[in-house]
Amino acid sequence: MLTDTSMNDDTLTRRAQLGDSPTLGSLAELVSQNIPLNTKQMLIVRKLLANLLTWADYLYDSSRRNKTQIPKAIEAALHILGRKHEIILTAPTGAAAENLGGNSYYTSLGINLSYKASVTARARKTILVIDEMSVVDLKMLSVINNQCKVARSLPRSSPDLFGGLPIVILMGDFF
């Protein structure tokens, strides 16, 4: 059974409920017991979990409600599996990141305010979530892309977007 030293008793109990070979359905249902998801959100969470290491997606919810439930559900599922360290929850500002349960992308990716990226150990990450994409300009998106490449030991000239991270979730309201 997968374990994680940061798991509390409740998380360990939920992990034990899944057994050694959790199914997608059982994991999604367990997560939705603590994080309320509507039908559309549950479908997205199930799809993300099913393809955890194989695709990138863009989330746009025209209702502009509860988009943060999806990355929170993915984070909860990864926590149960002992893989919470694989996700980075970010947004342009600390306030927006706090709603997501993460940090600003400046903090998360080690980017200073002059748009220069510092080298940080982010190689174990497999999922990047960026909320409030509507306020991220092209220059900052390029900095984030390059920082992900540096963190995963790829040259900046690499064609792999976001350092080849298997899942990149970009969320935001576009008017």
Separation CA 171–CA 89 (nearest Å): 11
* 3 lies in some domain: no
Please give the single-letter amino acid code of residue 7: M
Query: What per-residue string of b and e applies to 8-29 under the rule 16 or more CB within 10 Å gives b?
Result: eeebeebbeebeeebeeeebbe
Q: CATH no. for residue 162?
A: 3.40.50
Query: What per-residue string of b and e applies to 92-129 under the rule 16 or more CB within 10 Å gives b?
Result: beeebbeebebbbbbebbbbeeeeebeeeebeebbbbb
90 neighbors 102 (Cβ within 8 angstroms): yes
pLDDT (tens, 9 = 90+) of the chain, 175 residues, equals 344 445 577 777 877 887 766 677 778 888 888 888 888 888 888 877 776 634 434 444 445 556 778 888 888 888 888 888 888 888 888 888 888 888 888 888 887 655 554 444 466 788 888 888 888 888 998 998 888 888 888 888 998 888 888 888 888 776 5
| Domain encompassing residue 97 | 9-171
0.95 surpassed by pTM = no
* pLDDT per position as a tens digit, 60-103: 444 555 677 888 888 888 888 888 888 888 888 888 888 888 88
* 109 lies in some domain: yes
88 neighbors 102 (Cβ within 8 angstroms): yes
* 94 lies in some domain: yes
Transcribe 129-144 into DSSP letters.
EE--GGG--HHHHHHH
Query: Which structure tokens are listed for 92?
Result: 């342009």
Say if strands 127-130 and 57-59 run parallel, antiparallel, or are unpaired: unpaired
Separation CA 161–CA 169 (nearest Å): 13
Number of H helices, E strands in the chain: 7, 5
* 23 lies in some domain: yes
**Overall domain count for the chain:** 1
* 140 lies in some domain: yes
* 1 lies in some domain: no
Say if strands 127-130 and 103-104 run parallel, antiparallel, or are unpaired: unpaired
* 4 lies in some domain: no
Query: Which structure tokens are listed for 162?
Result: 């976001």
